[in-house]
Structure 1
Amino acid sequence: MEKRFREDIEGLRGFAILAVVVFHFGVEVFPGGFVGVDIFFVIAGYLITGMLLGELERTRTVDLWRFYGRRAQRSLPLALVVSVVTLLLVLLFLSPAEQTSAANGALAASLYASNLWFMTLLPDYFAPESIFNPFLHTWALSAAAQFYLVWPVLLLLLWRWRPSVRNMAVAMTVLTLLSFALCLWLSYRKQSWAFYASPTRAWEFGVGALAALRPVTDWARRSRVAVPIGWLGLAVLCATVLLLTADARFPGWIALVPVLATAAILISGVSDQPGGPAKILKLSWMQWLGKRSYAIYLWHWPIVMFARVLDLGDHAMTIAICSALAVICAAISFRWLERPMRSSAWLAAKPMRAIAVGAMLIATGVLIAVSAGQVARMFSAQPVHAALIRSISEEPLASGSPQRCLIMFKYAAPVSCTFGASESPKTVVLFGDSHADQWSTPLAQLASEQGWRLVTFLKATCSVADIVDYNPRSRRYWPECAEWRARAIDDIQQLQPDLVILSQMSNGFIQGPWTSRGRYAVTYEQWEAGLRRSLQRLRAANVPVLLLRDSPLPRANMGHCVGRARWRGTSESSCDVPISIAIDPALTALESAVAASTGAIFADLTTRFCDEHTCPAVKSGVLVYKDANHITEDFAKLQVPAFRALLEEHEFLAAQKH
């Protein structure tokens, strides 16, 4: 196995970190920059495997303690420093509730298990709620560390079992294919697991490992096509960064493109033929970035996140300043910490010494993270913050425990729940998604007061409008939604209620600034046609329908904003949202017209949220929104009089069914 320094690999690291940074800073012309992490994984598999196999061929064994000591010596000191600095910034700028979450993230990162933590915490790496976690980027470091922990032991065991490169190649191929198959399977069933879990990412390291095998490198040295393959790989990587978007079901099949392209560049780099992508990758600025890629990766994400917390905007000047700050922090830490630690002869002299220092650094990180969590919980217990945290965390009656009447994504069979006077001859149905669910508490209270029955049919993220819907969580079109909708309408028709109250996050499904569906969102025309079909089906069974306009959408996490304002002692009114941002007049007119044309009643409670110009974050001393679009239970309970007046105005409950 070759030992020479590969400038092309250093430049490839520079390419990868540049792609990641521009993606995280929101530079729209590089939507696929997230594949930079996949490039790092392939490089890691290539270099580590080449080194380990070379040692196995020379000595018939692997000095595991020396290997782990080098890894600790290279990565742990800077990781601890960045974690401490990040936690200090968290203490300054984030609310106590966010501080608690950040401390948990720091703990998981210190233990190199943050990928497992995020796997269960966040439904999607690309989801809006992901951008305010200052330790989100550490998932990749944890996945790599888990690979470093297992791979040397596995190679050593394989070598002792069948000591030949050929047998190693067969075993690596089998393991890589098994990991890829698991990745594909989970990409369609549990996308967050496919994205974060090290077993589902191991195939990327495996492809790099296979590229490092002697038969491959020997072929590349002799072959005339190795250089063109390398150029093709670099061209494909550039195209991927420019064309791939977060809408892709990643890592899935599409991840093969950047992974194989990276492997092609690595293989091409050993060719004896002149030329190749190394001519570009050896440029001095790419070498500079590559040498500092680890430091840049560690520093850039907290800077990105805090720029968003401080609402500095995403214009070119902000991006340039924040990028420069990340590079400066990386340059300083590389010069004064990372490089001295990597080249420390004292640590390198005895592997157990480096491992002991590494263990001490990990323990220090854990201790600091636990202490930060305790401090955050102490602040959270203060009345002003405790009340806010309670308001944010309280769930609507229907979806909360123990009812759990809001069914999740993979289920298609409707679930009905009954509240109020269960034996009453008068029945109101609440039908919709989580934005209908947020009205279950006040409607159930009203049902109990007036002696009628409330029945709910609720499914998260699924529209009542009859559209072909794309699920941004599972990243696929989902027939479960269409099946649930059709079966729920059938059940409602059989129930023959006195009234159906229909509510949904309409703008979440339609092309525009409110949606998370990107290019898969429907047009206003498609929404109008789908809503009309659903209303006509209900009205065909002579079911009275009240179409409730969706609540205004602030498009920013109001719970976090108000929490930060209280923590910093600034005005909560800074979180207020202009009505022009929260309301879509075109959609209001469209739904009102559809309701009128189908014989439904259209109701709009916007005045309960907003005045003529502004939608306040706090109204009558009550937090209005718990996140970027769902209202709090406290505010929902205040709307009981509004619903009582609405139902009395239209005399639905007094009228007999037609």
Structure 2
Amino acid sequence: MSAPTTGDATPSTAAAPAYRTDLDGLRGIAIALVACFHVWFGRVSGGVDVFLTLSGYFFVGSLVRHTIHAQSARIGFGETVSPWPRLQRLFRRLLPALYTLLIVVGVLTIAIVTQTRWQNIGREIVASALYYQNYYLAKNSQDYLAASSANSPLQHLWSMSMQGQFFVGALIVLLTVAGLIKLLGRRYEGLTQPRVIRAIFAVVVGGTALASFAWAQHRLHIDQPYNYYDTLSRLWEPLVGGLLAIWMPTWRVGVRIRGAMTVIALILIATCGWWIDGVASYPAALAWVPVGATLLVIWSGNTAPDQSLPRVNQILASKRSVWLGSLSYSLYLIHWPLLIFYLTWRGIDHANVLEGTGILLVSIGLAWLTKRYIEDPLRGGGRSSMAHLRWPAHPRVTYTAALTVVLVLASGATAGGIKAWDRHMLDVAVDTTDLDPALYPGARALLDGAPVPALDPQPTPLAMAQDLPQTGRDGFMSDFAATTPTVGVYGDPNGGKTIAVAGGSHAEMWIGALDAIGRRNGFRIVTYLKMGCPLTGEEMPTRLEGTPYPECRTWVRAVMDDILRTRPDAVFTNSTRPDPDGPADHVPAGYLAIFDELTGAGIPVVGIRDTPWPHKDKRPINTPECLAGGGSATTCGTVRASALNPVDPAQAVAATNPLFHPLDLSNGVCTADFCPAVVGNIIVYKDFHHLSTPYVRTLTHELSRQLAAALGWTGPEVP
């Protein structure tokens, strides 16, 4: 994945080891694993961890040799500490192929992907170009799991961003250390000894690696989706490779034993993707399997001059392995977006064996073309296979210069297009607060049999990106990291009674209706809302993707303490959720614990049944995207029995607890047997499972009716 050599092309002769072509072969194995696991198996292979370790080995080792050479050759202070020459080499090696890919992704996004996804992909193009894609994904908690047509074509570039951050950060820090050694060496000559220089670098690199590993292990059970992408958590992987470059053990071990170690290491690298869930486990302790195996391959091939290279290392150094390794950077860049665009074009989630083989072969071909005509020429020097080419009419204009200009102009045009699209998205939202109920009846078409004229639905699928509940816009939806509640006030702020709305986004999505009901009927609505955190008594709640979510537990306890202290007249929260072990919905045990605690304190609970989560054949449906891609209310809808039990499961709770009041608005979302994507000319869902704000407004009358029946004091219904 990294460029063939990230350090100096010709390091100091005194300290430089012989070039390790077997490690190029290891790159070839790593990229083959990454691509095959992505295309066919939908798992993390550990190949990226191999790349990170190799990058650190080459990069840090080169910096150490540069520092030792600078001392022995009496190179000037500025030449020792200036990062610019190396940054230039990094830019030439990494940016041309990356920027070419980003330009192509921009074009293919417009040609293949629905407009509902343009804004997010555009922002990922910017994040990837500026090397912060890993943090963009971490912030949005995207999981690096099996490829599907819903995945971003740039999701894989998190590792490139992480490596870029590592290269720049390590360069600045270690060259600063080198400069201090040079400066202090004028007074303390002992500091300029090679062994002392290596010891200083070892302390800096080793200490940072240890801190990074401890951080990764600590964050594993706190926020693993963020931890997976976090550079601070990943730093230890390249740094331990760098540590091996600083201090390579010189134990004299027989060639057969070294060969056996390489075989064992390669088996671990090749198989760890099967028995380690990398998304849930890396970069913590289990990442030592691919990382440690890579270190073992590096060490086992580091033979003395009078020792022969183990046979397996010779195979790694063979022409075919090295050739594939030389394509690793371009192949890594290309294979994932090619897979995602193919799946999107076909409208499928998985490639079969034949399709996957074709994708891999095309990826290899495009990677070879990219290396030969983009990577190599723009690196310059002896590696440029086309550096000799000049345009006849302009002898001073080389192929490299022309290609550079094209890339810069195209990148600028792509960035300009992204900015223009973002500005367009700000204007695309339509005010749906006053939709004519005769033209856009929404839920009234199901509940009251209201006529539905032939009109395009509102809001448009594209405008759904701007569709947020008022609480989100007002800043009353706490983020994933929050552990204390932020309380919002809606309805009638001076009302004599209060309903507390508590939970996650599936409680929040009702605020538009509740606000109107409260204002009309003279009671307050106070909100306790947190992303992905229902009101649950679970000791270890998890996020939607299954990772631990301890912040939720802390937040829920703080909310419960505040509710028990302030004693609202009722608590409105979710009562059901899709059953992970069945085809319909259920009442989680954690919800029951909360219901019991509140009602035990004499506080009534209004439990609203969760609405169906759109899906088909166990595949989740993003409703706006499905409609934008040519789907209809039917093809983008859900069979009711696959999402809902015939009877609200919360009814059983109400039978034994008189202070628990179940609400069920399912008939305002579904017919007797089907849940359409569009009802009454309004799109029902804003994404995979949240009701759209305008559709919730059309449920206000029914929600008010059921609240009045449950509590008896909410007043007349909202018309």
| 2:645 aligned with 1:605 | no
Of residues 345, 348, 352, the one that matches 1:312 is 348
- Give 3-state SS (helix, strand or coil) of 1:25's partner: helix
Whether 1:297 and 2:342 are equivalent positions in the alignment is no
Preserved CA contact (<8 Å) 2:478 2:529? yes
The aligned counterpart of 1:84 is: 103
Partner Cα distance (2:654, 2:362) in 1: 53
Superposed CA deviations along residues 335-373 of structure 1, whole A, max 9, x for unmatched, are: 554455552278599xxx999889757633541322221
Provide the secondary structure at the position in 2 that maps to 1:446.
helix
- Seen in structure 2, the aligned counterparts of structure 1 residues 630 and 129 have a Cα distance that, compared at 3 Å, is farther
CA distance 1:640–1:5, shift in 2 (3 Å) = same
Aligned partner of 1:593 in structure 2 is 652
1:46 Cα deviation after fit: 1.6
Task: Provide the residue aligned with 1:168 in structure 2.
Answer: 198
Verify the 8 A CA contact 1:65 1:355 in the aligned structure 2. Answer: no
Structure 1 residue 327 displacement after superposition: 2.9
Partner of 1:503: 574
The secondary structure found in structure 2 opposite 1:137 is helix
Moved more, 69-78 or 125-134: 125-134
Query: What SS does the corresponding residue of 1:42 show, helix, strand or coil?
Result: helix
2:468 alignment partner, one of 385, 395, 416: 395
Alpha-carbon deviation of 1:298?
1.0
Indicate if the aligned counterparts of 1:122 and 1:192 stay in contact, CA closer than 8 A: no
Find the partner of 2:285 among 253, 263, 267.
253
Shift of 1:432: 2.1
Q: Deviations over 1:84-128 (max 9, x none)?
A: 221111111234453233333323333444345445x42344389
Q: Secondary structure at the match of 1:207?
A: helix
Which residue number corresponds to residue 93 of structure 1?
Answer: 112
Bigger-Rg structure (1/2): 2
Change (3 A) 1:313 1:113: closer
What's 2:30 paired with? 16
Once the two structures are superposed, the pairs formed by residues 547-566 of structure 1 within 5 Å of their partners are 547-554=607-614, 555-562=620-627, 564-565=628-629
Give the unaligned 5+ runs of structure 2: 1-14, 182-190, 390-397, 431-457, 615-619
Moved more, 317-326 or 428-437: 317-326
The reply to whether residue 185 of structure 1 matches residue 215 of structure 2 is: yes
What is the rounded CA distance, in whole Å, between the counterparts of 1:485 and 1:202 in structure 2?
34
- 2:97–2:374 contact (8 Å) kept in structure 1: yes
State the partner residue of 1:449.
520
2:122 to 92, 103, 107: 103
Q: For residue 165 of structure 1, report the CA deviation from its aligned partner.
A: 4.2
SS at match of 2:610: coil
Matched, 1:230 2:265: no
- The equivalences for 1:558-637 within 5 A come to 558-562=623-627, 564-565=628-629, 570-573=630-633, 576-579=636-639, 583-585=643-645, 590-599=649-658, 600-637=660-697
| Structure 1 residues 190 and 335: CA distance shift in structure 2, 3 A | same
Give yes or no for contact 1:234–1:277 (8 Å, CA) kept in 2.
Answer: no
The 2-side partners of 1:324 and 1:595 are apart by 60
Q: Which moved more, 1:377-386 or 1:90-99?
A: 377-386
Q: Among residues 326, 330, 333, which one is paired with 2:367 in the alignment? A: 330
Question: Residue deviations 1:215-244, cap 9 Å, x none?
Answer: 516446779864444344333323432222
CA distance in 1, matches of 2:651, 2:276: 38
Q: Name the TM-score, length of structure 2 as normaliser.
A: 0.76
CA contact (8 A) 2:143 2:279 kept: no
Aligned partners of 1:307 and 1:313 also within 8 Å: no
Q: Write the deviation string for residues 368-424 of structure 1: whole angstroms up to 9, x where unpaired.
A: 3222214534764568899555443232233331xx333333444444433222343
Aligned 8 A contact 1:392 1:632 in 2: no
Q: Which moved more, 1:478-487 or 1:553-562?
A: 478-487
CA 1:614/1:300 → structure 2, altered by over 3 Å: closer, same or farther? farther
| Residues 1:211 and 2:282 aligned together | no
| Structure with the higher fraction of residues in helix conformation | 1
Q: Which secondary structure state, in structure 2, belongs to the residue aligned with residue 626 of structure 1? A: coil
Distance 1:486 1:443 in 2: 24
Aligned-pair CA distance for 1:8: 2.5
Structure 1 position 641, deviation (Å) = 1.1
User: What are the superposed Cα offsets for residues 530-580 of structure 1, whole Å, 9 maximum, x if unpaired?
Assistant: 333322222323333332111111223223333x43xxxx35447613225
1:344 aligns with 2:384: yes
Q: Give the match for residue 517 of structure 1.
A: none
Are the aligned partners of 1:118 and 1:139 in contact in 2 as well (CA < 8 Å)?
A: yes
Cα pair 2:372 2:385 within 8 Å, conserved: no
Q: Does 1:464 align with 2:501?
A: no
TM-score for both structures, normalised by structure 1: 0.82
1:462–1:145 distance in 2 versus 1, CA, 3 Å: closer
Single out whichever of 414-423 and 147-156 deviates more from structure 2. Answer: 147-156
Unaligned residue ranges in structure 1 (runs of 5+): 515-522
C-alpha distance in 2 between matches for 1:357 and 1:316? 40
Q: Quickly say closer, same or farther: Cα 1:593–1:616, change in 2 above 3 A.
A: same
RMSD: 4.0
Q: Distance in 2 between matches of 1:123 and 1:205?
A: 24
1:58–1:424 Cα change, 3 Å? closer
- Please tell me the residue identity of whatever aligns with 1:394: D
One-letter identity of the residue aligned with 1:530: G
Q: Partners in 1 of 2:590 and 2:169 — Cα distance? A: 52
17, 20, 27: which one aligns with 1:6: 20
Task: Verify the 8 A CA contact 1:97 1:376 in the aligned structure 2.
Answer: no
Q: Does structure 2 conserve the Cα–Cα contact (< 8 Å) formed by 1:79 and 1:298?
A: yes
The 8 Å contact of residues 45 and 205 in structure 1, kept in 2 or not, is answered as yes
What letter matches 2:342 in structure 1? A
Alignment partners' CA distance in 2, 1:485 and 1:469: 11
Equivalent residues of 2:488, 2:526 under 8 A apart:
yes
Partner SS for 1:471:
coil
Aligned twin of 2:480? 409
Question: Is 1:15–1:290's contact at 8 Å kept on the other side of the alignment?
Answer: yes
For the pair 1:262 / 2:294, whether they are aligned, the reply is yes
CA contact (8 A) 1:433 1:505 kept: no
1:526-537 residue pairs with structure 2 within 5 A?
528-537=588-597
Q: Is the 8 A contact 1:553 1:583 kept in 2?
A: yes
Against the structure 1 CA distance between its residues 382 and 481, is the aligned structure 2 distance closer, same or farther, given a 3 Å change threshold?
A: closer
Q: CA separation in 2, counterparts of 1:210 and 1:391?
A: 50
1:648 to 708, 711, 719: 708
Aligned residues: 628
- Of 372, 375, 378, 2:417 maps to 372
Relative to structure 1, the CA distance from residue 639 to residue 174 in structure 2 (aligned partners, 3 Å threshold; closer, same or farther) is same
Per-residue CA deviation, residues 314-338 of structure 1 (Å, 9 max, x unaligned), is 1524434433432332244345544
Q: After superposition, what is the alpha-carbon deviation per residue over 1:161-185, rounded to whole angstroms, capped at 9, x for unaligned?
A: 1432442343244234325414643
